[in-house]
Amino acid sequence: MPLDRQTIAEWLRKATYVAEEVYSAPYRSAIARAKRDEEDLFMLMVFSEMMGVPNPASYYTLELQPLLLERFHDWHRRMGMEHSPLDHFKCC
């Protein structure tokens, strides 16, 4: 089989895929969890004012709220609140 550039590129692509899997598989959960913790903190920053925690950040992040609706739901459940804690921000 002649070795052309395309075959080599294909091999490299496969090798990269395998290497990435091998690299990330063992630590996928630890890193994903750390990322989630950071995002939970971010949520708190965005919504803190509404829950009575004074925080100027919420004023500046007001526009983000509609975009975060779906993630907000997962977040308040992780924080131990069965339903949305906000009367005017109902997701479930």
Partner 1 sequence: MSAIVLMLVGLGGLALGFIFYSKFIAEKIYQLDPDFRTPAHEFEDGVDYVPTNKFVLWGHHFTSVAGAAPIVGPAVAVIWGWGPAFVWVILGTIFFAGVHDFGAIWASARNKAKSMGSLTGDVVSARARSIFMIVIFLVLLMVNAVFAVVIAGLLTTYPSAVLPVWGIILVALLIGQLIYRQKMNLVAVSIFGVVALYALIFIGPSVPLEMPAEVGFLSGTATWIIILFAYAFIASMLPVWVLLQPRDYINGIQLFIGLGVMYLAVLLLNPSMVAPMVNESVPEGTPSMIPLLFVTIACGAISGFHGLVSSGTTSKQLNKETDARFVGYFGAVGEGTLALAAIIAATAGFATLAEWESLYASFGAGGVGAFVEGGAYIISGGLGLSQEVSATLLAVMACLFAGTTMDTGVRLQRYIFQEWGQIYGIDWMKKNIPATVLAVAACMLLAFGAGGPDGDGGMLIWPLFGTTNQLLAGLTLLVITVMLVRLGRPMLFTLVPLVFLLVMTISALLVQLVDFYNDGAWFLLFLDVVVLVAAILVALECTSTLMRLRRESKTQES
- Is position 34 an interface residue for partner 1 (rule: CB under 8 A)? yes
Piece of 25-33, 40-48, 51-59, 82-90 that binds partner 1 (CB under 8 A)? 25-33
For partner 1, the binding residue among 10, 27, 79, 81 (CB under 8 A) is 27
9 binds partner 1 (CB under 8 A): no
CA-nearest of 92, 84, 88 to 43 is 84
From residue 91, give the alpha-carbon distance in Å to each of 35, 48, 82: 23, 17, 11
For position 8 contacting partner 1 by CB under 8 A, the verdict is no
Contact 77, 52 (CB under 8 A): no
Is residue 75 within 8 Å of residue 84, measured between CB atoms?
A: no
Q: What is the binding site for partner 1 (CB under 8 A)?
A: 12, 15-16, 18-23, 25-34, 36
